[in-house]
Structure 1
Amino acid sequence: MPFSDSGGITLHYQHRPVGQGRRHLVFINSLGTDFRIWDAVTAGLDGSIATLTYDKRGHGLSDIGATPYTIEDDVDDLLGLLDRLGIDEIVLCGLSVGGLIALGVAGRRPDLVKGLILCDTAHKIGTVEGWNTRIAAVEKNGIASLADSILKLWFTPRFHAERKPELDGCRNMLSRQPVAGYAATCAALRDADYTEVAKAIGVPTLCLVGDQDGSTPPAVVRSLADLVPGAQFEIIESAGHIPCIEQPEKLVTLIRSFLAHLPPE
């Protein structure tokens, strides 16, 4: 299990280089998940591009660090990890809060970023009242108390009906995240607004969303695509908020197509 210090925060990561390839596809996970949500996608890429997955702070096996923290602290963490690994050319694929982190990295270090894949995310997610209500609930009763309602937003009714073992596993993953890290990331989401950053993005961008996403519905993701100059927008059918688990093959196809049209390394 590889770990790395990034500015005093220990991050758990998985790095899969490919030959002498310089460009890396970096995946950033969503709230309440760890980097295993990308397993089927990285496997589907068949080693065609170097990949990096990692647990952002407060999730998985990574440190929580001092709280409160902001999305910009997450940006610092990822930039530190990239520096430690010697990665200097990236395409970012961020899901939900991971999309905000991706926007933050692109805004801060446009020299590194050659493309953005923004999955089920927005330039600003949720409301102050909504996030404060969620923070209070998990701090009082734990994440498990909200797990069923969250899973209804994450996955389609068909997934709930036909893929119970996977659903149970995702419930375990969500419920076992540290409360302090989950709540701190909720607060970071509450306070984040990347509207102006999105307007200034200067690299090819693909905005994706599940057709049944209950957290960031298609209209919300479309509003992000409308802000980013020249962004593509695609809807993934039969998917909720986490298409990398529910429809990984479709996501891989879209990623491959996007990468194929980027300028060469």
Structure 2
Amino acid sequence: MPGIDVFTDPPTRDRWLSACASDDALRAIGTGVRADFALECGAERVVLRVEDGVPALAESEPVFTLSAPSEVWAELLAATPRPPYQSFFGVLRTGEGRVDGDQLAFAQSVHVVRRILEHARSGGAPASASIETLDRSQVRGRYVNAPLQGAEIDIYIEESGSGAPLLFLHTAGADSRQYHGMLANAGLQERYRMVAFDLPGHGRSDRLPGPIGGYSLTTELYADAILGVIDQLGLQGVIVSGSSMGGEICLEIAYRAPDSVRGVIACEASERVEGRRQPWAKHPQVNESLFVPEWVYGMMAPQSPQPFKDDVWWGYSQGGFNTFHGDIDFYSGEWDGRDKVEHIDTDTCAVVMLTGEYDYSCTPAMSASTAQRIRGAVFWSMPGLGHFPMAENPAQFLPHLTKALQIVEGSTDG
């Protein structure tokens, strides 16, 4: 099987490129792509020319080069990489690797580069043909109207089950479909009235007033949308659970409106996430529907079922122009909880924080540090999960959610 030997062993390299050439998924996603790039491992370098998704050895000067030390490549190309080595973006995040040369060309080709690197792993690339099915027959969708930014906005909600109210908040650039694995769960349906909604300009909700492409999420807008949905649906004593930017706003809600909720379950969140604003996510020469899903794909755990990971990728590919970029203005820009989290009163609003071990955007260490500043908050890391635990592996996330719900309910009973 391939692995780091692709740099030094010609037969291994040939098997790697042969696997790439026979990959229908790579050809489908690589249509129209032509790129000359190199992989550099110390003194060893492999130069590839990709045409329509098919790579071959080349002697040309590469347009861009992915470079990392040999020990980092060994981690990247392991059958099951350790976090954060499941993605070259993770290596860039830690500073252990770099991209030299034409950054625009890299951004335009990253979807092909990722798949080629997956084939270089000692376990080979994952298959991506099957579809994971969920029983969505009990999930109901409708619209509610809420005033936001001086306009009446129709917000699309999905709900299922009956009992104590539980509100889910999706991640940046996504929509409520991320929570279908929870909404479709029969056990949760028996105990909770579960609700998820699409933020304005996301999924099936109305977009906000203003020019297309001018959207930028703020703390005020985000909090108003959530509290507006809670009010419109009469969700008294609701538990709010969100991931990524949804986790951040959970902490904000616990700080600013603790009497409006019973507790929060903040996933993949910390008081401040730096360095995630990405200009290629809104660039006239980069295909947003390819780059954005690639930017987030690497944050999922390699062990998560491929059909669910593909669904996350596909959902991000469907986002509207500037939707993801505008959300990151909040996630890694405007929102800053460093002066807020220590003032959260967990006697009024319980706080549980969960973070997947493969999340390199908001690492478990970052979340743990924030939880330590919130008196009474509970935190744990989720093994084998990444940045989208509820969507990338619903079955593995469910026990963590169930435990968190029990903690919130136990801390607020009586």
TM-score of the aligned structures, taking structure 2 as reference length: 0.57
Does structure 1 retain, via aligned residues, the 8 Å contact 2:238–2:261? Answer: yes
Q: Counterpart amino acid of 2:155?
A: L
* C-alpha distance after superposition, 1:132-168 (max 9, x if no partner): 5355448853142242232011x12233xxx333333
Question: 2:327 is matched with which residue?
Answer: 185
State the match for 2:316 in structure 1: 174
Deviation at 1:41, TM superposition (A): 2.2
CA contact under 8 A between 2:171 and 2:245: conserved in structure 1?
yes
Unaligned runs of 5+ in 1: none
Taking the aligned partners of 1:259 and 1:120, their CA distance within structure 2 comes to 16
Q: Secondary structure at the match of 2:264?
A: strand
The question of whether the paired residues in 1 share the 8 Å contact of 2:160 and 2:189 is answered with: no
- 2:370 corresponds to 1:229: no
**Which stretches in structure 2 are left out of the alignment for 5+ residues?**
1-140, 210-214
Distance in 2 (CA, whole Å) between partners of 1:72 and 1:113 is: 17
Deviations 1:223-265 (A, max 9, x none): 2211221111111111111111234234322332333323338
How far does the alpha carbon of each residue in 1:72-106 deviate from its partner, in whole angstroms, 9 at most, with x for none? 20110111111111122111111000012222222
Deviation at 1:210, TM superposition (A): 0.8
**Structure-2 residue corresponding to 1:62:** 205
> Considering only aligned residues, what root-mean-square deviation do their CA atoms show, in Å?
2.2
Amino acid at match of 1:47: E
In the other structure, the counterpart of 2:239 is 91
Contact kept, 8 Å, 2:280 with 2:291, in 1: the verdict is no
**Most deviating of 8-17 and 116-125:** 8-17
Match for residue 413 of structure 2?
A: 264
Which residue identity is paired with 2:321?
Answer: V
Tell me if structure 2 keeps the 8 A contact 1:9–1:77. Answer: no
* Shift in CA distance, 10/214, structure 1 to aligned 2, threshold 3 Å: same
Measured in 2, the distance between the counterparts of 1:227 and 1:183 equals: 29
**How many residues are aligned here?**
256
In 2, are the aligned partners of 1:57 and 1:74 still within 8 Å (CA)? no
CA distance in 1, matches of 2:284, 2:357: 28
Q: Rate the CA distance shift 1:249–1:152 in 2: closer, same or farther, 3 A.
A: same
CA shift for structure 1 position 57: 2.4
The range that moved more, 138-147 or 168-177, is 138-147
**Structure 1 runs, 4 residues or longer, greater than 6 Å off:** none
Percentage of pairs with the same residue = 24
Is the CA contact 2:281–2:288 (under 8 Å) kept in the aligned structure 1? no
- Tell me the alpha carbon deviations over residues 145-202 of structure 1, each in whole angstroms, 9 at most, x when there is no partner: 242232011x12233xxx3333332221001111232222121221111222221211
Greater shift, 234-243 or 39-48, is seen at 39-48
Q: Higher RCO, 1 or 2 (CA under 8 Å, sep at least 6)?
A: 1
Larger Rg: 2
CA distance in 2, matches of 1:262, 1:251: 21
Structure 2 partner of 1:14: 158
Normalising by the residue count of structure 1, what TM-score does the alignment of the two structures yield? 0.87
